[in-house]
């Protein structure tokens, strides 16, 4: 999928950014290839235009899809395995998808787990990172501040937790 200069995008390792240029670059002595120059909050990254690797770069989610993701954040969490290694593998697999759906689910599930069990350092770090990415994208989609996006996300999680905790 071809993306354009000025387009807001999501990079799974760095979060929300904007394509600022498409440049032909020679990387690591290889033949010159086209790269997206993506400006992020604290850095700039270059992502190969073709072939676009799955989970590397995607357009931010459209506003028309937000109702679906509000429902995900309010839905009951998925039960997580008690074995840390299996849980970590599952979380890593989901994160590698790089989709907004996966990010919403990870935030929902780890936020719920934190209510009843202590999170490992890995899980705490992952929750912090994915929640930050979720709020960045939520803010970009809605044209609001990160603080307002964090409030929206927290309210949806609390509303969902209230529903499934009573069930």
* Sequential DSSP letters for 13-30: TTEEEEEEEEEEE--TTP
User: H/E/C letters for each residue in 83-137?
Assistant: CHHHHHHHHHHHHHHCCHHHHHHHHHHHHHHHHHCCCCHHHHHHHHHHHHHHHHH
Q: What is the DSSP letter of 56?
A: T
- Residue 38 near residue 19, CB atoms below 8 Å: yes
Compute how many other C-beta atoms are within 10 angstroms of the C-beta atom of residue 27.
11
Residues in the chain: 167
pLDDT of residue 135: 97
d(CA 124, CA 159): 22
Provide CATH 2.40.10.170 ranges for the chain.
8-59
Provide CATH 1.20.58.1290 ranges for the chain.
63-166
* Sequential DSSP letters for 57-93: -EEPPPGGGHHHHHHHHHSPPPP--SSHHHHHHHHHH
CATH number for the domain whose boundaries are 63-166: 1.20.58.1290
CATH class label, 8-59: mainly beta
The tens-digit pLDDT sequence of the chain (167 residues) is 689 999 999 988 889 999 999 999 988 888 898 899 999 988 999 888 886 665 588 999 999 999 999 999 999 999 899 999 999 999 999 998 889 999 999 999 999 999 989 999 999 999 999 999 999 999 999 999 999 999 999 999 999 988 776 65
């Amino acid at each position: 999928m071809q993306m354009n200069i000025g387009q807001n995008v999501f990079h799974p390792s760095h979060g929300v950014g904007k394509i600022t240029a498409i440049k032909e670059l020679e990387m690591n002595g290889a033949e010159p290839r086209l790269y997206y120059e993506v400006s992020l909050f604290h850095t700039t990254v270059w992502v190969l235009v073709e072939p676009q690797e799955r989970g590397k770069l995607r357009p931010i989610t459209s506003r028309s899809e937000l109702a679906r993701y509000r429902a995900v954040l309010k839905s009951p969490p998925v039960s997580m395995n008690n074995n840390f290694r299996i849980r970590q593998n599952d979380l890593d697999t989901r994160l590698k998808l790089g989709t907004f759906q996966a990010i919403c689910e990870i935030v929902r599930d780890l936020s719920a787990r934190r209510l009843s069990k202590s999170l490992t350092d890995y899980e705490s770090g992952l929750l912090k990172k994915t929640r930050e990415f979720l709020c960045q994208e939520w803010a970009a989609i809605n044209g609001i501040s990160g603080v307002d996006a964090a409030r929206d996300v927290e309210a949806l999680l609390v509303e969902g937790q209230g529903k499934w905790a009573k069930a």
